[in-house]
Structure formats: C-alpha cells, structure tokens
C-alpha cells in the first residue's frame, strides 16, 4: 500500500477521486449535474481508449454505440411509467454489443484510413436512420419520461431520479469500468492487444488470430460505450441523433487525445479538461471553436502523451527530487 502512495501519479488520482466523491456535499446542483455528464463522457472516452490506445484501432464511429444504447432505453421506456433496469440494461448493452459485433466484423479486418472510414460510415448510417425515423422523433429526438427503476419486487433499491444517488451511481460505474478495463488489459487478452498495437503482423506470425482479438476488443469497447449511452439517456431524459453523429465521435476522440492516449485515466481527465475548457472559451468569445482547435493542436504538438503524460512527467520529476533529497540526508 505504501508503494501506491509513494507514486505521485497515484496520489493525484486518489485525491481527484476523493474530490469527486465529496463533490455533491458542497457543489451547486448545476455543477453536480455537469460533473455527472463529464463522468459519463469519461466512461465513453475510456472505452474508446481501449481501441485507440491499447488495440491500435482508431475508430471514428464510437458515438454509434453510445447513441444506439440511449435510443434503446428510449424505446423500452413506456410513456406511462419507468422500465425496470433489469430489463432495460441488458437490452441497451446487448444492442450495443450486437451492433459492435456486426460493425466490427466488417471493419477490424481493415486498418488505418480504411478502418476510420468504415467506422465513420456505419455510425453515419445509424445517425441517418434515427434522424429520418419519425416514430423516434426524427431530428428532434425522443423523450425518456421516466428514469429506469432499480427495484426487487416492490422494494426500491435506488432512486435514479435523485440527483445525489445518480451522481454516486455514475461515479461507482466510472470506477468499476476503469477497474474492469485494467483487469482485462493485465490478463492474457490484454497482452495480445498490446502485441497487435505494436506489431500486428508479428503477433499473427506468433500464432494469434488477431482478427478475433481485435473484434473482441471492439465489442467490449462498444458495449461499454453503450453503457455510457444508457447513463446519458437516463441522466438527460432525451435522446437525439446528435448523440451518434460524427461530431460526437470526433469530440470523444479529442478527449482521448487531450487526456493522453493509452492511459485509461487520462480519458477521464481529458473529459474534464474538454468540458471546462469549452465552458471557459465560450465565456471568452463566440468563436470559441477556434480556441479549442488551437488548444488541441498545441496538445498534439507539445504534449504528445496528453495531460496524463504531463502528470506522469511531473510525478517522475517529484520522485527524483525526493530521492535526491533523501540521498543528501543520508550520512
């Protein structure tokens, strides 16, 4: 345990986590709601980082799974009352996983620019499907009047309509998704993904059917992306085609790049940075997108490992400084 605390990066993450856990006690309710949205974005961005940062698959259609699961929640929620989470969640996750299986089956056999284009094309197909579908509200979107109920029989376990409860529900989800991805990446499966990312041809020559591993990674990422969509739809109470457009896919990718590719937690930090920067730039000027673009260019050029890389470098600097100081103290 003391080794965990000896690493400044871990200290930073634990402090950030403690602040997140305490936030509903002192934060204004508007900001509590905003942080919920950011944490959901963080979950979505972590799932994309599994593809970009750990499998080497740059997906430009990741919002598809996010939006699809959100729409599925809207579809299974009746207008007269809440849907049970035990029914809604499997439908949303299953739908996202199935979509990822189909899209992945076609796309992961390609690479580079072709992979980017195929994932984008599939996401756009889904976008237009929901955009043109008047039953589902077309471009205006569709309301979800009731948040899913979490109950066994008549006994209510959680009230997702309660802001504080939902905040912690999302925070715990964030932690569990992070832990799940870490476990997967440390397991033999994760070792194969790392091999694929560094040198796919060699991984194949060693006897791995890389297609199957890339597809599995794509399905896992899509399912987690779907979980984020389920949370977003629950939080928002409305789903519209914008949630699966290419703008959305692009902004998730920017979050991953901003936070630091291939770090997982960087994706969450990136989500915070993205939303707060956007907020700040919007206050400064109506042409805030220009500033945002400039900032992303700055990060790509000067911080190739993103904010997470910056934190890690600073952490290494501190560790060295501390060890030098203690060397001096030694006789």
Partner 1 sequence: MTSILQIKDLSKNFGGLAAVDAVTLNFEEGRVHAIIGPNGAGKTTLINLLSGDHKPSAGRILFKGKDITTKPPEAISQLGIGRSYQKTNIFPSLSCLQNCWLAAQSRLRSSMRFFRPAEAYDDVRSRAELALEMCGLTGRRDTIASEMSYGEQRQLEIGMMLATEPEVLLLDEPLAGMGTEEATQVISLLRTLAQSHTLILIEHDMDAVFAVAEMLTVMVNGQVLETGTPDQIRASKAVREAYLGEDMEEMTP
Nearest in space to 126 (alpha carbons), one of 70, 68, 48? 68
Rounded distance between C-alpha atoms, residue 61 and residue 66, angstroms: 10
Cα dist from 297 to 256, 281, 291, 293, 300, whole Å: 14, 15, 10, 6, 5
Nearer to partner 1, 206 or 290 (CB): 206
What is the crossing angle of helices 246-259 and 306-329, to 10°?
10
Cα dist from 205 to 12, 108, 110, 210, 278, whole Å: 41, 18, 18, 10, 46
Nearer to partner 1, 49 or 232 (CB): 49
Terminal-residue alpha carbon distance, the chain? 28
Nearer to partner 1, 153 or 207 (CB): 207
Nearer to partner 1, 1 or 201 (CB): 201
Q: Which secondary-structure segment (H or E) carries 24? A: helix 8-26
CB of 50 to partner 1, least distance (A): 12
CB of 47 to partner 1, least distance (A): 15
CB of 278 to partner 1, least distance (A): 34
CB of 167 to partner 1, least distance (A): 29
Residue 66 near residue 225 (C-beta atoms within 8 A): yes
Provide the binding-site residues for partner 1, judged by CB under 8 A.
183-184, 186-192, 194-195, 198-199, 201-210, 212-213, 216
Nearer to partner 1, 202 or 320 (CB): 202
CB of 200 to partner 1, least distance (A): 11
């Amino acid at each position: 345990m003391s080794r965990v605390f000896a690493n400044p990066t871990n200290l930073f993450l634990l402090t950030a986590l403690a602040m997140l856990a305490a936030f509903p006690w002192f934060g204004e309710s508007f900001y509590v709601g905003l942080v919920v949205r950011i944490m959901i974005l963080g979950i979505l961005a972590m799932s994309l980082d599994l593809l970009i940062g750990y499998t080497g698959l740059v997906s430009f259609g990741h919002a598809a799974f996010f939006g699809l699961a959100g729409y599925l929640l809207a579809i299974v929620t009746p207008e007269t009352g809440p849907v049970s989470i035990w029914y809604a969640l499997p439908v949303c996750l299953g739908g996202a996983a199935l979509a990822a299986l189909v899209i992945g089956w076609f796309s992961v056999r390609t690479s580079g620019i072709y992979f980017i284009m195929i994932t984008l094309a599939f996401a756009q197909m889904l976008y237009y499907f929901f955009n043109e579908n008047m039953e589902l509200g077309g471009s205006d979107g569709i309301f979800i009047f009731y948040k899913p109920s979490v109950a066994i029989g008549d006994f209510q376990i959680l009230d997702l309509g309660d802001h504080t409860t939902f905040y912690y529900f999302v925070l715990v989800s964030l932690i569990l998704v992070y832990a799940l991805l870490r476990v997967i990446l440390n397991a033999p499966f994760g070792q194969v993904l790392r091999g694929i990312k560094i040198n796919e041809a060699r991984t194949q020559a060693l006897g791995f059917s890389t297609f199957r591993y890339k597809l599995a990674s794509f399905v896992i990422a899509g399912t987690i992306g779907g979980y984020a969509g389920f949370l977003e739809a629950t939080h928002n109470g409305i789903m519209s085609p914008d949630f699966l457009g290419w703008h959305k896919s692009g902004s998730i990718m920017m979050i991953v790049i901003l936070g630091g590719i291939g770090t997982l937690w960087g994706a969450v930090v990136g989500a915070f940075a993205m939303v707060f920067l956007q907020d700040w730039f919007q206050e400064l000027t109506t042409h805030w997108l220009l500033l945002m673009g400039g900032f992303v260019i700055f990060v790509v050029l000067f911080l190739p490992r993103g904010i997470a890389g910056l934190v890690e470098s600073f952490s290494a600097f501190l560790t060295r400084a501390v060890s030098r100081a203690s060397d001096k103290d030694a006789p």
